[in-house]
Amino acid sequence: MENQVLSFLKENNLIDKKLAIAVSTGVDSMVLLSVLVKLNLDITVIHLNHQKRLESLEEEAFIRDYCKGRSIPCFIKKLEFESTKNFQAEARKLRYEFYLEVMHKANIKYLFLAHHADDQIETMLMRILRGASIDAVSGMKEFTPFKDIYLVRCLLKHSKEEIIKYALKEKIKYFEDKTNTEEFYERNRIRKNIIPNLVKENPKTYEKFFEFSKSLSFLNKLLETKINEFVLENVIKTKEYFSFKISVFNNLEFEFKQELLFSLLKEKDLSKQNINEIIKVLNTKKANLKIDYLGFTILKEYDKVYIFNEILVINKVNLKINELKNYDLNEKYEVLVTKKNCDFDGNLFNLCYNIDSLDLMVRNKDIGDRISTKSGTKTLKKLFIDLKLGYLERENALVVVDNTNEVLLVVGYQKSSNLKNLKQCNCLIEFKEKK
């Protein structure tokens, strides 16, 4: 095993690098740690005490003494959990936060993890059963960029059985985590019930899965090239969202649609079922649609779709105008109210009014709002449909109403025809875009 790890280190130019290793004190990480120590590398140990088992304190003390006796830097943290609703997900989040904290503090770029061939098969089977992208189904990689470090898995060719045999041969002390045998977890059920039968069916199962993972990774690189080409030509990305035309999206093969959305929404860790539900939303015949889904917002506006990173919140406006002054309305507009003789005109960003009658309100549109036109009145809903305004424009539209709630102005879109009847207007209300 040392020879294989040494070859891996040489091939990847890691011999002279500072390395960190995540050690749980289980057989996998203790074997990897022992091999790296044997090879006399510059290593730092990171251990997390999940405080979920009675043995945790003993394991923490053991790894502390192990490192102290060999002059190995060792960083240890006890994890505090806010809830246990999804223990595994929360534990993983806290682990990786601590990994990054240590790596930055110690100026280390490479974190070694003791995942092995059995872990790889379990991961691939779980993702196949869940429904995942080609990239996810290809399993764990020997090198994975993570934030500004690299996760390194050099034992993916070695089975659990090999690792245990090595530990026994080298008399390596390690601790057993009894929860690894509990069938409550899907991973454990696959480990106990499926992998042994696969190996019984074909003794080269580990080798075949390793080859399959490599093949899928290669195919995924080709797919990524196609996806990147499509994104470059058709997808607009901002800090808040990404968007594309539905008509262009619908010209794609269904499987390519799935992989494209998997790629664009990679950080959301979605299943294939989630992706298919999003595709259904995009195919709806409704011209305007907003759906909050799994912590983010899907917004459809005619032929365009916007997918926001987080839940989209429309900031409500409720501003009273009752004197001559400047008003800070929102992040986009300020309102300037000045004394000036003026008449009705076609500018949709200002309003001529009487100072003595100033008791106006600027707010968002409301259900049932109507505005006077040459031919009668029209609901704002109908106005927006006629103007082909998208959801966001409709929701962010501002209206000016008087003290009877009559709509005088839909800022930027329509003025009430009743304003023509106002006489001796001596103040000008202007909506100015902030610079």
Pairing of strands 326-328, 333-339: antiparallel
**Tens digit of each residue's pLDDT (9 = 90 or more) over 308-332:** 999 999 999 999 999 999 999 999 9
User: Which CATH number does the domain housing residue 174 bear?
Assistant: 3.40.50.620
H or E stretch covering 283: none
Residues 363 and 290 in one domain: no
Average pLDDT over residues 4-18: 96
Query: Taking 90 as the threshold, does the pLDDT of residue 180 lie above it?
Result: no
DSSP per-residue letters across 352-418: EE-GGG--EEEEE--TT-EEEETTEEEEHHHHHHHTT--HHHHHH-EEEE-TT--EEEETTTEE-GG
The residues with which 363 forms a beta bridge, in sequence order, are 318, 399
Share of the chain above pLDDT 90, in %: 91
**Same-domain pairing of 290 and 336:** no
Query: Would you say residue 225 lies in a domain?
Result: no
**In whole angstroms, what separates CA 227 from the centre of its chain?**
18
Tens of pLDDT along 44-89?
999 999 877 778 999 999 999 999 999 999 999 998 766 656 677 7
Expressed as residue numbers, the domain containing 342 is 318-433
Instruction: Give domain status of residue 280, yes or no.
Output: yes
Residue 181: pLDDT band (50, 70, 90) is low
pLDDT at 345 > cutoff 90: yes
Q: Are 56 and 179 part of one and the same domain?
A: yes
Question: pLDDT tens digit string along 188-199?
Answer: 999 999 999 999
Pairwise CA distance, residues 232 & 130, whole Å: 30
**Same-domain status, 349 and 373:** yes
Shared domain check, 51 and 21: yes
Residues 107 and 182 in one domain: yes
Q: How many domains does the chain have?
A: 3
Are residues 105 and 186 located together in one domain of the fold?
yes
Domain match, 328 and 422 both: yes
Is the separation of the CB atoms in 46 and 21 below 8 Å?
Answer: yes
Which of 384, 368, 370, 363 shows the shortest CA–CA distance to 314?
363
Q: Are 370 and 382 in contact (CB under 8 A)?
A: no
Count of residues making up the chain: 435
Mean pLDDT of the chain: 94
Last residue of a domain, one of 286, 308, 330: 308
Q: Is 83 part of a structural domain of the chain?
A: yes
Whether residues 334 and 191 share a domain: the answer is: no
Q: Is residue 227 part of a domain?
A: no
Same domain, 349 and 404: yes
Q: Which of 308, 333, 348 is the last residue of a domain?
A: 308
Query: Please, which residues bridge with residue 43 across strands?
Result: 19
Q: Identify any residues that bridge with 292 across adjacent strands, giving them in sequence order.
A: 297
Task: Kindly tell me if the per-residue pLDDT of 248 is higher than 70.
Answer: yes
- Domain-terminating residue out of 148, 183, 213: 213
Q: Are residues 188 and 249 in the same domain?
A: no
Within-domain flag for 120: yes
- C-alpha span between 340 and 427 (Å, rounded): 5
Alpha-carbon distance of 350 to 336, in angstroms, equals 9
- Give burial (CB, 10 Å; 0-12/13-18/19+) of 398: buried
> Is 255 part of any domain?
yes
Same domain, 303 and 325: no
- Closest-CA residue to 401 (of 347, 361, 359): 361
- The CA distance from 384 to 296, in Å, is 26
Question: CATH number for the domain including 278?
Answer: 3.30.465.60
